[in-house]
Structure 1
Amino acid sequence: MPVEPKPETGAPPCPDWMPPEGRQQWERVVPELDRLKLLSKIDGAVLEAFCATYAEFVQSVRRGEPLKAAMLGQMRFYAGELGLTPAARARLAAPPGQEDEQIDLFFH
């Protein structure tokens, strides 16, 4: 079985250009993804795309515009890549040592 490369873990910084709605989403999801050790420093582009698309979604809703299927599809795709949906999380393997944490949640 091939060994998967292990990039350096940690949260990449939110870019300065991120719209406020995207920055708020970044601040909501990144700490939890980082705590679960699901982030690598090289994941910044995917996070940026997800949060920028989320910002576009929020802005469209506020303006009362119809939501574009392509935008929703992009947001769903990026959310899946980051493990932000229940189905995506079910496909993720916990990092070594975290399996016990997950089991402890059920028995303690």
Structure 2
Amino acid sequence: MRGRKPVPTVLKLINGNPGKRPLNRNEPKPVTAIPTCPAHLSPTGKAEWKRLARYLHDLGIISELDRAALAAYCQAYGRWVEAERKLKETPTLLRTPAGYVQPSPWLAISNKNLELMHKFMSELGLSPVSRSRVVTRSIGPKPWETAADEDDEFFA
């Protein structure tokens, strides 16, 4: 798809619909839930699943529909960790039987999985930039809000 990613209707409403384009009133609103961890994930991927799933649920940004995206991220994470471990054991540059020097295949695996992780991180709101674009369920007072803000004319 070309151009910018569509902005969720909730964000448009919060921002006052600056583009004044029609709102999608039929946008799906899945129930937040922690999806079950797929059995095919590597042990490192399962550990990452357990670490992330609760956080994403508490923020209200994950549902059963997001199972595949989270699984793909966790599997890429597991492969990246494995490749990084192998890179510690082997040199980054290898000499071929013909005498040429080439990068380790583990380096390519690591870099490819970092790219995949980055894509899924932005989709799931796991990076600082993508989190600024995600609307979450309120789970307590925000650290930047104080009682004094309520008296301030800019916060009225």
TM normalised by structure 2 equals: 0.61
Matches within 5 A, 1:1-108: 1-3=23-25, 4-64=27-87, 65-68=106-109, 69-95=111-137, 98=138, 101-103=140-142, 105-106=143-144, 107=146
Q: Are the aligned partners of 1:9 and 1:39 in contact in 2 as well (CA < 8 Å)?
A: yes
Deviations 1:23-48, CA, capped at 9 Å, x for gaps: 11011111100011110111000011
Segments of structure 2 that go 5 or more residues without pairing to the other structure are 1-22, 88-105, 148-156
Gaps of 5+ in 1: none
In structure 1, C-alpha distance between the alignment counterparts of 2:141 and 2:64, rounded to whole Å? 24
The aligned counterpart of 2:15 is none
Question: Is the CA contact 1:61–1:67 (under 8 Å) kept in the aligned structure 2?
Answer: no
Equivalent position amino acid for 1:40 in 2: S
> % of aligned pairs identical?
31
Pick the structure with greater CA Rg.
2
RMSD: 1.7
Q: Which has the higher contact order (CA 8 A, sep 6+)?
A: 1
Q: Higher helix proportion, which one?
A: 1
Q: Deviations over 1:58-86 (max 9, x none)?
A: 00011113144332211100011111000
Q: How many residues align?
A: 104
- 1:60 to 1:94, Cα distance in 2 relative to 1, 3 A: same
Deviation at 1:9, TM superposition (A): 1.2
**Do 1:54 and 1:75's aligned partners in 2 also have CA atoms closer than 8 Å?**
yes
Contact 1:57 1:67 in 2 (8 A): no
Aligned to 1:63, the other structure's residue is in SS state: helix
